[in-house]
Amino acid sequence: MTAEDYLNGQVILIDKPLGWSSFQAVNKIKWALLKHLKLKKLKIGHAGTLDPLATGLLVLCTGKYTKKITEFQDAVKEYTGTFTLGATRPSYDMETEVDAVFETGHLSEEIIKSTTAKFIGQIEQYPPAFSAIKKDGKRLYELAREGKSVELTARKIQIFEFEITHIALPEVGFRVVCGKGTYIRSLAHDFGKALDSGAYLSALRRTKTGNFNVRNAVAPQQFVDGLM
């Protein structure tokens, strides 16, 4: 592809590795393109952040296609991953240590699978205290790391599909199809509450954004190597 192609606009599908921030992935692609195409500048951005602890589909837009970012961010997304039952963590995921432990002896496959029905449709969800949402000019995760408590506001979100894919307690595999603004970490936390047992998100992978599928994505280094 030529410099003109990327300036006019391209969609690049990246499979973000574990431990990378979305910014790191975008930066890797951006600098590789600038060098390869001998450009001084190139607009590039992503349509929806993935946490460093998550892997999967990151939709990148270049040039004039950066105007499509909001459209792609608003698209329905699919995630797969693992909830760990019987404990909670302040961040609702693996970023922080376990702060409470709960019984899981009362849980059966039938109870776990049937509880998903409570979360289908339009529901209210509180974002995690450790999130990038801003409050008084600071991101919530910054306030949380400073030990400051923040009053969170519930938001309406849409869950179209929620299925349990495997059960090997304390781990439970899932697949979720949801609308914009959904926090899978919060879903894990709320799911644990509904089961009368704690839960946190222990693995997450974004598999789809709108019509884009992670099966068609490449790792950042694979994309860079393909330019040579």
Known catalytic residues are: 51
d(CA 7, CA 72): 19
What burial letters (b/e) apply to 187-209, b meaning 16+ CB within 10 Å?
Answer: bbbbbbeebebbbbbbbbbbbbb
Cα distances (angstroms) measured from residue 11 to each of 14, 19, 65, 165, 180: 10, 23, 7, 31, 20
Per-residue DSSP letter, 111: H
- DSSP 3-state assignment of 193? helix
Quick one: tokens of 34?
């600038």
d(CA 47, CA 212): 11
* 84: nearest Cα among 26, 176, 17, 167: 167
Alpha carbon 3 to chain centroid distance? 31
Q: Which residue has the tokens 């190597």?
A: 225
Cα distances (angstroms) measured from residue 189 to each of 57, 85, 156, 180: 23, 9, 16, 18
